[in-house]
C-alpha cells in the first residue's frame, strides 16, 4: 500500500520543515553549544528521506519499512536522550552546586525508569506491541527527566537562556505526546499502525516549529566562565600579588642594610 497524494504532500511539507530547521541550526552555529542536538536534527532529516523513499518503493505496510522504522527509531530515541543530557549539562555548567545535584538526581531517576521500561516490555519482546510499550516507557523517561530538570532549575533559581527553553519545550512536548499516543495505540496495534505513525509525525512537526521559533528569535547562549573559574583565577592573582609584595619588602630591607 503506497502513499496517497495528500500523504505525499504532508511528507514533503514535513521534510521541508526538517531541512529548514537544520538550515537555521547551521546558520546560527547551534553545533558550537549543542553538537548532540544538532546531530539529532540532521539524523531526523536523513531518516525522513530514506523512509519516504521506502514508502514509495515498498509501501508503508511493508516489512522493510517496519524494520527500518524501528531500528532508526531506537537510534533516534538514544540521540534524543543524549540531547537531553547535553541540555542538562549546558544549563548546569555555570553552577557547580547545581551540577552536583543533577549529577546524582537525573541519572538515578533515568536508571530507575529504564529498568521499569525493560521489565514492562520483556513479556512482549517477540511482538511489535512490545516495541510500543518500550518506546512509551523510554519517552516517559525523557519527559520525567526534562520535568525534573526544569523543576530543579526553578527551585535553585537557575537562569535558563531563551533558546534552552525552546529546545526543552519541543523535546518535552514530543515525549509527553508520544506517551499518550503509545498508551492508546497499545491496545489497537494491528489496526492502526498508520494512524499511530501519522499522529506521532504530526506531533513531531509541532516540536520542529517550536525549535524553529527558538532558532529564529532566541539568542544562542555563549560559553560563560563559571563562578568556580572566576574564584580560582582570583585566588591565583591574590597569591601572586602577595608574593610580589613580600619580594618588594625583602628588597627594601636588603637596600637598607647596604653601606
Mean of pLDDT over the chain:
78
pLDDT of residue 208: 94
Q: How many residues does the chain have?
A: 259
Comparison of pLDDT for 48 and 211, the residue scoring more: 211
CB atoms within 10 A of CB 58: 16
33 φ/ψ angles, rounded to the nearest 5 degrees = -100, -30
Segment among 104-113, 155-164, 169-178, 250-259 with least mean pLDDT: 250-259
Cα dist from 46 to 53, 76, 105, whole Å = 11, 11, 34
225 φ/ψ angles, rounded to the nearest 5 degrees = -75, 130
pLDDT of residue 43: 93
8 A C-beta contact, residue 141 and residue 117: yes
The whole-angstrom separation of Cα 243 and Cα 155 is: 42
Most confident of 110-124, 182-196, 205-219: 205-219
Comparison of pLDDT for 137 and 121, the residue scoring more: 137
pLDDT of residue 110: 85
Cα dist from 31 to 12, 83, 102, whole Å = 26, 12, 23
Q: Is the pLDDT of residue 40 over 90?
A: yes
8 A C-beta contact, residue 222 and residue 172: no
Mean pLDDT of 62-71: 77
The candidate with the shortest Cα–Cα distance to 152, out of 105, 215, 203, is 105
What are 122-169's pLDDT values in tens digits?
665 555 455 666 777 788 888 899 999 999 898 888 888 899 999 999
Q: What share of the chain is helix, strand, coil (3-state, %, to 5)?
A: 85, 0, 15
What are 163-192's pLDDT values in tens digits?
999 999 999 999 888 888 777 766 654 445
Q: How confident is the model at residue 225 (pLDDT cuts 50, 70, 90)?
A: very low
Q: Is the pLDDT of residue 52 over 50?
A: yes
In our burial notation (b when 16+ CB lie closer than 10 A, e otherwise), range 116-131 reads ebeeebeeeeeeebbb
Cα dist from 148 to 99, 101, 103, 109, 137, whole Å = 13, 11, 12, 9, 16
> Looking at the whole model, is its pTM more than 0.85?
no
Q: Is the pLDDT of residue 239 over 80?
A: no
Percent of the chain having pLDDT more than 90?
Answer: 27
What residue has cell string 516490555? 121
Instruction: Return the half-sphere exposure (C-beta side, CA atoms, 13 A cut-off) of residue 135.
Output: 29
Residues 6+ apart with CB under 8 A from 92: 98, 99, 102, 158
Amino acid at each position: 500500500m503506497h502513499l496517497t497524494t495528500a500523504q505525499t504532500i504532508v511528507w514533503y511539507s514535513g521534510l521541508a520543515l526538517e531541512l529548514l530547521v537544520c538550515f537555521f541550526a547551521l546558520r546560527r552555529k547551534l553545533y558550537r553549544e549543542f553538537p548532540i542536538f544538532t546531530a539529532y536534527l540532521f539524523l531526523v532529516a536523513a531518516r525522513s528521506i530514506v523512509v519516504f523513499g521506502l514508502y514509495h518503493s515498498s509501501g508503508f505496510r511493508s516489512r522493510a519499512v517496519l524494520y527500518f522504522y524501528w531500528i532508526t527509531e531506537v537510534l533516534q530515541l538514544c540521540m534524543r536522550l543524549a540531547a537531553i543530557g547535553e541540555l542538562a549539562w549546558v544549563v548546569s555548567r555555570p553552577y557547580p552546586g547545581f551540577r552536583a545535584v543533577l549529577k546524582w538526581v537525573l541519572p538515578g531517576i533515568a536508571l530507575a525508569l529504564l529498568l521499569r521500561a525493560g521489565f514492562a516490555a520483556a513479556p512482549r519482546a517477540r511482538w511489535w506491541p512490545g516495541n510500543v510499550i518500550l518506546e512509551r516507557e523510554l519517552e516517559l523517561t525523557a519527559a520525567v527527566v526534562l520535568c525534573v530538570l526544569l523543576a530543579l532549575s526553578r527551585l535553585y533559581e537557575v537562569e535558563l537562556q531563551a533558546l534552552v527553553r525552546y529546545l526543552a519545550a519541543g523535546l518535552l512536548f514530543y515525549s509527553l505526546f508520544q506517551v499518550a499516543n503509545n498508551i492508546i495505540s497499545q491496545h489497537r496495534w494491528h489496526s492502526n499502525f498508520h494512524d499511530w505513525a501519522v499522529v506521532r509525525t504530526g506531533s513531531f512537526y509541532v516540536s520542529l516549529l517550536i525549535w524553529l521559533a527558538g532558532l529564529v528569535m532566541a539568542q544562542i547562549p555563549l560559553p560563560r566562565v563559571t563562578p568556580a573559574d572566576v574564584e580560582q583565577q582570583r585566588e591565583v592573582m591574590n597569591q601572586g600579588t602577595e608574593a610580589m609584595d613580600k619580594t618588594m619588602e625583602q628588597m627594601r630591607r636588603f637596600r637598607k642594610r647596604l653601606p
